[in-house]
């Protein structure tokens, strides 16, 4: 038994060294990975793996299969899996995941440093509110610019990506603070530091699928991806809720810089990779980067998920960035707008924490995507009229619904992307989708800002009036047309994900990585389970 485990470990080390995890630089690796997957899946079918043999692995009363590679979705969590009994996971994976969570919180806090106090920041730097919006927008565009380097770095090792992000965060934050303090505030220096922190974001935001594939089994990957991915908007919630109470603009930037500095230190101590693979699919050699990209671009379901993911992430980013400007013309205070932004994210985090283990068990990705995008689109429609009520209930409730549905949708979309592109390397599809979301988010901010009512706003008068005093349904500075654009776009994209799984449209896709994990047994290591690092 120990000899088998040793051979397994040696195979894993040979396949996944420190410089090129799961990949090779030539096209032969791509062919080997594809052929390896074909041998596995053909072996499953040729060996006559019926529902009765599956029942022996998964327990009594196994259900008949409804499609190739899987039973009814509500029974799928009951299937046996060799990943749980023949492979090993290590406790050290939680330390790396915790650091990934921490960095995603900090980098999102950096992104929205100025958004919750946009009017105050504009007055401090003596610039327009549109210029303050560019601090958030430039952050999003920086993601797109650095994406090719992110894919290459993640392919080498998630640790390399995490350390790179930490260095950029450290430098960018202190440059921002220097720009804030120098000569009463130099906006150009602050923008440069903001761009550096923006370059840091994709190295940790695109990392969860790659990290979970490297360290977790199929029964924990959705939850791990959700935890690390949803930490990013949690950082935005902290910014929305806390920043208005941190004092002056220099104080806000100083506190964020100190927290960011402390958060980067543990990056040096995380492990690069596990000693042995956690699941059967982790043994499959991932194809090289260029063939992985071609595999994604040749998959019709990938395009559907890419457009849907990019559009809804973009809408969420734009709404998060502009929420203060959406509400204050109706005399909502910055504190009330900050609470609304926090509700958007905190409720989403709670919903994501509830739904992710469910999808880990059922793997009902397509059903989840279809249901959640429908709810999200309806909520965006309702937000068109929410500010006009001048009450807290409508914007708070609708923001909570948008957050809950969006955060539940995020991890299953990312895991479904890995599933439909397997055995392509996980970071390729996820980084492309994240880049699309950031690009769309930046474009949507610009469009929504252009649709803003251009009549000048007397901030002092608005603050004195208070939302309870009522006023025009469309006061000066309102963003009604921007909210119409937001709702219309959400509904326009909705039909695309509803077509997933339809064979006649070429959008049906069977299991890839899950099929390997739940049926592969030869070469596995016995006695899997938790082991101390």
Average pLDDT, the chain: 77
Identify the domain containing residue 312 by its residue range: 288-519
Among 15-19, 147-151, 170-174, which stretch is predicted with the lowest mean pLDDT? 15-19
Sign of CA dihedral 331, 335, 339, 344: positive
* Same domain, yes or no: 339 and 435: yes
Instruction: Give the residue with greater pLDDT, 123 vs 401.
Output: 401
* Same domain, yes or no: 503 and 397: yes
* Same domain, yes or no: 223 and 307: no
Looking at residue 451, what is its pLDDT? 93
On whether residue 44 sits in a domain, the answer given is no
Contact (Cβ atoms closer than 8 angstroms) between residue 429 and residue 147: no
On whether residue 267 sits in a domain, the answer given is yes
On whether residue 385 sits in a domain, the answer given is yes
* Same domain, yes or no: 338 and 208: no
| Structure token digits, residue 185 | 């505030």
* Same domain, yes or no: 312 and 189: no
Q: pLDDT tens digit string along 515-530?
A: 665 555 443 333 334 4
Using the predicted structure, report yes or no on whether residue 359 has a pLDDT greater than 80.
Answer: yes
Instruction: Give the residue with greater pLDDT, 520 vs 208.
Output: 208
* Same domain, yes or no: 251 and 328: no
Looking at residue 20, what is its pLDDT? 39
Query: Of 262, 284, 306, which closes a domain?
Result: 284
Task: Give me the percent of the chain exceeding a pLDDT of 90.
Answer: 25
Task: Give the CATH number for residue 323.
Answer: 1.20.1250.20
Looking at residue 102, what is its pLDDT? 92
Among 54-58, 127-131, 249-253, 346-350, which stretch is predicted with the lowest mean pLDDT? 54-58
Q: pLDDT tens digit string along 485-511?
A: 999 999 999 999 999 888 887 777 655
Looking at residue 200, what is its pLDDT? 92
Using the predicted structure, report yes or no on whether residue 420 has a pLDDT greater than 50.
Answer: yes
Contact (Cβ atoms closer than 8 angstroms) between residue 293 and residue 108: no
* Residue 394 banded pLDDT, cuts 50, 70, 90: very high
* Same domain, yes or no: 272 and 363: no
Looking at residue 518, what is its pLDDT? 59
| Structure token digits, residue 472 | 């025009």
Instruction: Give the residue with greater pLDDT, 75 vs 417.
Output: 417
Looking at residue 197, what is its pLDDT? 92
* Residue 400 banded pLDDT, cuts 50, 70, 90: very high
Query: Of 284, 302, 325, which closes a domain?
Result: 284
On whether residue 38 sits in a domain, the answer given is no
On whether residue 70 sits in a domain, the answer given is no
SS3 content of the chain, % helix, strand, coil (to 5): 75, 0, 25
Buried-state track 286-311, b at ≥16 Cβ within 10 A, e below 16: bbbbebbbebbeebebbebbbbbbbb
Please give the span between the terminal C-alpha atoms of the chain, in angstroms, as a whole number. 20
* Same domain, yes or no: 257 and 330: no
Among 40-54, 99-113, 295-309, 375-389, which stretch is predicted with the lowest mean pLDDT? 40-54
On whether residue 470 sits in a domain, the answer given is yes
* Same domain, yes or no: 491 and 454: yes
Q: Is 243 helix (H, G, I), strand (E, B) or coil?
A: helix
| Structure token digits, residue 162 | 């995490």
On whether residue 221 sits in a domain, the answer given is yes
Q: pLDDT tens digit string along 233-286?
A: 788 778 877 888 888 889 999 999 999 999 999 988 888 877 777 776 666 666
Highest mean pLDDT among 45-49, 270-274, 455-459, 486-490: 486-490
Query: Of 224, 254, 284, which closes a domain?
Result: 284
Question: Which residue is associated with the tokens 């008949």?
Answer: 64
Q: What are phi and psi of 67, to 5 degrees?
A: -155, 170
Q: Is 167 exposed, middle or buried (CB count within 10 Å of its CB: 0-12, 13-18, 19+)?
A: middle
Instruction: Give the residue with greater pLDDT, 304 vs 278.
Output: 304
Contact (Cβ atoms closer than 8 angstroms) between residue 496 and residue 348: no
Summarize the confidence of residues 43-68 as an average pLDDT.
35
Instruction: Give the residue with greater pLDDT, 455 vs 482.
Output: 482
d(C-alpha 460, C-alpha 215), whole Å: 54
Residue in 112, 368, 92 with CA at minimum distance from that of residue 226? 368
d(C-alpha 258, C-alpha 261), whole Å: 5
Torsion, Cα 236 240 245 251, to 10 degrees, reads: 50
Using the predicted structure, report yes or no on whether residue 462 has a pLDDT greater than 80.
Answer: no
Contact (Cβ atoms closer than 8 angstroms) between residue 369 and residue 228: no
On whether residue 527 sits in a domain, the answer given is no
* Same domain, yes or no: 266 and 358: no
* Same domain, yes or no: 220 and 350: no
Instruction: Quote the number of domains for the chain.
Output: 2
Looking at residue 286, what is its pLDDT? 63
* Same domain, yes or no: 353 and 310: yes
């Amino acid at each position: 038994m120990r000899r088998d485990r040793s051979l397994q470990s040696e195979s894993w080390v040979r396949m996944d060294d420190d410089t090129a995890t799961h990949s090779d630089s030539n096209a032969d690796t791509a062919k080997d990975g594809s052929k390896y997957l074909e041998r596995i899946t053909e072996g499953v079918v040729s060996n006559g793996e019926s529902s009765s043999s599956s029942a022996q692995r998964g327990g009594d009363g196994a259900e008949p299969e409804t499609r190739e590679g899987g039973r009814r979705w509500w029974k799928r969590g009951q299937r046996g899996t060799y990943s749980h009994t023949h492979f090993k996971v290590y406790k050290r994976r939680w330390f790396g995941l915790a650091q990934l969570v921490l960095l995603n919180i900090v980098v999102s806090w950096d992104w929205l440093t100025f958004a919750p106090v946009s009017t105050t920041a504009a007055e401090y730097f003596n610039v327009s509110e549109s210029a303050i919006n560019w601090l958030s927008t430039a952050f999003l565009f920086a993601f797109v610019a650095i994406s090719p380097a992110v894919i290459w770095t993640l392919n080498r090792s998630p640790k390399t990506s995490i350390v790179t992000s930490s260095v950029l965060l450290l430098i960018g934050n202190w440059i921002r603070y220097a720009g804030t303090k120098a000569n009463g505030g130099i906006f150009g220096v602050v923008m440069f530091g903001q761009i550096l922190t923006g370059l840091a974001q994709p190295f940790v935001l695109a990392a969860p699928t790659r990290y979970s594939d490297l360290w977790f089994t199929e029964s924990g990957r959705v939850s791990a991806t959700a935890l690390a991915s949803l930490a990013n908007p949690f950082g935005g919630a902290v910014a929305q809720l806390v920043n208005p109470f941190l004092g002056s603009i220099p104080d806000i930037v100083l506190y964020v810089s100190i927290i960011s500095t402390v958060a980067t230190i543990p990056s040096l101590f995380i492990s690069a990779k596990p000693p042995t693979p956690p699941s059967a699919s982790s043994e499959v050699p991932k194809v090289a980067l260029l063939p992985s990209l071609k595999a994604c671009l040749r998959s019709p379901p990938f395009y559907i998920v890419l457009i849907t993911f990019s559009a809804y992430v973009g809408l969420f980013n734009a709404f998060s960035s502009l929420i203060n400007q959406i509400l204050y013309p109706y005399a909502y205070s910055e504190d009330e707008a900050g609470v609304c932004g926090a509700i958007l994210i905190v409720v989403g985090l709670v919903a994501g924490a509830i739904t992710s283990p469910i999808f880990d068990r059922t793997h009902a990705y397509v059903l989840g995507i279809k249901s959640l995008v429908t709810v999200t689109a309806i909520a965006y429609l309702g937000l068109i009229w929410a500010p006009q009520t001048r009450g807290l209930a409508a914007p708070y409730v609708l923001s909570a619904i948008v957050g809950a549905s969006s955060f539940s949708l995020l991890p299953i979309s990312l895991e479904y992307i890995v599933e439909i592109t397997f055995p392509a390397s996980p970071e390729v599809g996820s980084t492309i989708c994240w880049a699309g979301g950031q690009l769309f988010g930046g474009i949507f901010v610009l469009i929504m800002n252009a649709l803003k009512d251009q009549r000048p706003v007397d901030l002092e008068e608005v603050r004195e009036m208070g939302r309870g005093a009522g006023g025009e349904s469309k006061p000066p500075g309102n963003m009604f047309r921007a909210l119409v654009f937001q709702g219309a776009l959400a509904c326009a994209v909705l039909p695309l994900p509803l077509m997933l799984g339809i064979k006649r449209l070429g959008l049906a896709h069977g299991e890839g990585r899950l099929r390997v994990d739940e049926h592969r047994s030869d070469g596995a290591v016995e006695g899997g389970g938790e082991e101390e690092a």
